[in-house]
Amino acid sequence: MIVQLPSWVSSIPLPVSASDEDVMNYVIELARANVRHATGGPFACAIVDDAGGVLGIGVNLVEQTQCSVFHAEMVAIVNASDHQASWDLGIRGPATLYSSAEPCAMCMGAIPWSGVHRIVVAARDVDVRAIGFDEGVKPIDWIDVYRRRGIDVTRDVLRDDAVAVLRAYAQGGGLLYNG
């Protein structure tokens, strides 16, 4: 099963290296383009292997599909699972999930079962809530919960750039569903 991404996704150049900043630049550009093309909310995600190979891409498709579960992380997990032919995205080695924002409650629940070994996020929960999105009820100690499950967390990678995308979306009148 693959979730169809907007046609413009292929026009965004893939990251040039496996560095956190390069991959996050790519993810933030996906989020920015999702807003610019009005194909969904201001969120994007990529799952990569240790060499920087992209296993799965996701952009928020909630509005476009009228389906509440098509958050960027969920779309990336589905597409990476299809690419890997496995529910365990770490089956061939460590996989890292890069997200333009901290996961909401739904995505937070799905990530540990996906097999990723690390997540890297840009904007924080407080940034997403500040523009009006409801992120759900999440454990305050979610980072420690993930670490106990063997998932490392890195925060604030290009946070200001991701927050700018969130603000542009809100200022442009983007739909703040569940807000």
Q: How far apart are CA 138 and CA 156, in angstroms?
A: 18
- Its sign, for the CA torsion 154, 158, 160, 161, is negative
3-state SS, residue 95: strand
Among 6, 7, 56, 49, smallest CA distance to 27 is for: 56
pLDDT tens digits along 27-54: 999 999 999 999 999 999 999 998 889 9
Residue 179: is its pLDDT beyond 70? Answer: no
Residue 174, pLDDT score:
83
Distance CA 5, CA 110 (A): 20
Measured on CA atoms in the order 170, 35, 71, 57, is the torsion positive or negative? negative
The pTM for the full model equals 0.96
- What share of the chain has pLDDT > 70, as a percent? 99
Q: What is the mean pLDDT of the chain?
A: 93
- Sign of the CA dihedral 166, 167, 168, 173? positive
Asked if the model's pLDDT at residue 62 lies above 80, the reply is yes
Res 99: pLDDT? 98
Per-residue pLDDT reduced to its tens digit, 167-177: 999 999 887 87
Let me know: does 127 contact 120? Beta carbons within 8 Å. no
- Name 45's bridge partners: 58, 99
Sequence-distant (6+) residues with CB within 8 A of 18 are 48, 50, 51, 52
- State the pLDDT at residue 156: 98
Strand intervals (E) in the chain: 44-49, 54-59, 95-101, 118-123, 152-154
What is the Cα–Cα distance from 30 to 134, expressed in whole angstroms?
22
Q: Please compute the mean of the pLDDT values over residues 20-33 and round it to a whole number.
A: 97
- How does pLDDT run across 112-158, given as a tens digit for each residue? 999 999 999 999 999 999 998 888 889 999 999 999 999 999 999 99
